[in-house]
Amino acid sequence: MIWPNLQAVNVIIFTDGSARGNPGRGGYGVVLKSGVHYKEMSEGFRLTTNNRMELLAVIIGLEALKFEQLSVQVYTDSKYVCEAIEKKWLNNWLRTDFKGKKNKDLWLRYHQIAKKHIVKFHWIKGHAGHPMNERCDVLATQAADGKNLKIDQVYEQLQQAELRANSNTNTPFF
């Protein structure tokens, strides 16, 4: 839904991702702020990577917005996510169908939701005392350490396919 003059509305999204072992148990944390409105979100996964959680945090934050064409400032401590957007790496990955790149599923999901807004990324140093980054870190790590972890279906399917491919090589050990 698009409302008139919503481009003047500024939404700030703080994000962080975590993985225990990378790959391992993981989670994301998101804080959304706009005027007096404040919302926190987090979720944990049983097997994933830090980069997937960093990117998923941004996606979840953008997908939580109820209106389109909002001015959104995203603050992340992930150079992977920030530079992929700000340095236009994603555009190249889209042109080459992500040849040799990981996380295609999440990047395509990000690309679709980002088209609905005016998004600007800002990199902030992690674990440097920024209150909202620290809050997102707590949310992400608590989610990774929680119970009832979700399944990162695409990641786990890719891992299983890779294991099958490696086990089918029948390489002798002598």
Residues 123-160 pLDDT 10s: 999 999 999 999 999 999 999 999 999 999 999 999 99
Q: Which residue among 29, 44, 77, 152 is the active-site one?
A: 77
Reduced 3-state DSSP string for 25-37:
EEEEEEEEEECCE
105 counts as catalytic: no
**Residue range 5-20, pLDDT digits in tens:** 544 569 999 999 999 9
Q: Which residue among 27, 44, 54, 152 is the active-site one?
A: 54
Q: What is the CATH number of domain 6-167?
A: 3.30.420.10
Per-residue confidence (pLDDT) for residue 170, from 0 to 100: 57
**Residue range 66-76, pLDDT digits in tens:** 999 999 999 99
Q: What are the sequence ranges of the domains in the chain? A: 6-167
Lowest mean pLDDT among 52-61, 149-158, 159-168: 159-168
Residues 25 and 144: beta-carbon distance below 8 Å: yes
Among the listed residues 146, 140, 135, 162, the one whose alpha carbon sits nearest the alpha carbon of residue 46 = 146
pTM for the complete prediction?
0.91
130 counts as catalytic: no
Say if residue 97's pLDDT is above 50: yes
